[in-house]
Chain A
């Protein structure tokens, strides 16, 4: 390879590099960084902090922020920074499973109702409408009351809430795919229904569902914390942003710092996933922007 060719290639590369409309991916990048941080905390909490989230220290109860305890300590002398970092775990866990339930449940219901049409379509969509008409937090609280408080039940309760949203979206996307020419071709060449759904419809429906999943993830983390805040989700001493905030309420006059860090962490998580959702949508479908 002569130097001239190499030079032009580098030139071409830096040209394309400059041509990438980076400002379009700004949201995705910021959101991605925040989400990465949250996931890192959830997976490698032990690497970030030297303390255990359960280690009590009777001497250092309700101490304000210091270099030893960045966000202070709680009523048992536990390090609030550590508990906040570890709490990412339960949030990510519950939100992932809940969104997974909503995603797959919704995709199955939505695709089937669009593909097979009435009467299945009518029955399923009416049912989805009714579930959707409940205020989400109310449905979660009632289900938790009935099922009993456990992390698994929180995943189920929150997951059920997401099914109608995903189902509607999957149904609408499937309907628009069904109108495309390539489906007629698929029928014409004798593809089976199952093959058409799996090979032609699902890949086209997944994109909008993926964007929805990011937004749902933010909301799931919020609902998990709300349930834990009400004492219906993760049970102490297991740290969750919601239950740390709730415990801190009793010490609002002596130890305000208990109410800052966990809330800020939850806030960041919600913003991060929302940004990734917005960014993905702009990236995948720039027409929708503004």
Chain B
């Protein structure tokens, strides 16, 4: 077990390295546009050249990456072209906000998906299953940014219960914090819930049709005992594998949801970087989002092998 966690952690570092290389190449693939964006349209060629030299943008890409990496390992993610402020403190100030949103959304998704998935599977091919599955499929097609728009129309415009945007820190006012974060979290969580629900249902149906469940039924175990003691944990294995990927997806979607609700997290910072062509901002926030997505993915995966020790042996063999 410790070895599995060790290998996973050890594999994480090179993965992050390759990820950072790819992101750096993607961000810097079109040279020159940053200067125009920072200096304005009527900047002289001399001013642009001076800007590029000052920011090191005139060096070859591998050298630029090396300079960036040298700073990054020391916690320096560069200085914003636009605001001239250091980027790393800004990212670490915004990251907890995004984490709060994503974790609440992921909790909502699981709280809905787990019980309803079990319920649907245990009434497989009955009306209840059909109804639950139908709504789950419908929900899975709802774009999260449309759901966000609809929620705003309903709860902010129509009922005037919740603010349409903005963010209040938890330490300032827990109730207001929840009010500002609940709609964004629902927009992300409800859509994820539908996928997770379908996975849980399929996993449960699979487990419930296996022979050891038949044995449990034959020896007279009640449905509740069968579900609780024999079925749910086994179905969770597949669920957590998908859940790990889904967390990454959900965490990427904060870019769009934070933008809609004006939440000052990493996602909206990324968009600031995009709009201003502010490479250091873009690079740092994209890296932070990918880092958390991958770390969350890894954690859920490790949780999966804690629940199902068979995975450890299977992986040790391959």
Contact = CB atoms under 8 A, between A and B. Distances in A.
Interface of A: 130-131, 133-139, 141-148, 218, 222, 225-226, 229-232, 242, 245, 248-249, 252-253, 256, 259, 263, 266-268, 270-271, 274, 290
20 contacts: A135-B248, A135-B290, A135-B293, A136-B252, A137-B256, A138-B255, A138-B289, A138-B290, A143-B26, A145-B27, A145-B273, A146-B26, A146-B29, A226-B143, A245-B149, A259-B153, A267-B143, A268-B141, A270-B142, A290-B202
A270 B143 contact: yes
Q: Which 3 A-B pairs have the closest CB atoms?
A: A135-B252, A263-B146, A271-B141
B252 A266 contact: no
A133 B19 contact: yes
A290 B143 contact: no
B30 A135 contact: no
A148 B252 CA distance: 20
B196 interface: no
Given A133-B19, A141-B270, A229-B256, A252 B141 contact: no
Contacts of A232: 274
A249 B259 CA distance: 11
Q: Which of A146, A242, A256, A271 has the most CB atoms of chain B within a 10 A radius of its CB?
A: A146
Interface string B286-301: 1001100110010000
How large, as a class, is the contact surface on chain B?
A: 35 or more
Contacts of B152: 252
A133 B294 contact: yes
A263 B294 CA distance: 30
B15 A137 contact: no
A267 B146 contact: yes
A62 to B, nearest CB: 15
Contacts of B19: 130, 133-134
Contacts of B138: 271
B106 to A, nearest CB: 14
A239 to B, nearest CB: 16
Q: Which of B33, B145, B277 has the most CB atoms of chain A within a 10 A radius of its CB?
A: B145
A274 B137 contact: yes
B135 to A, nearest CB: 12
B274 A141 contact: yes
Contacts of B290: 133-135, 138
Nearest to B124: A290
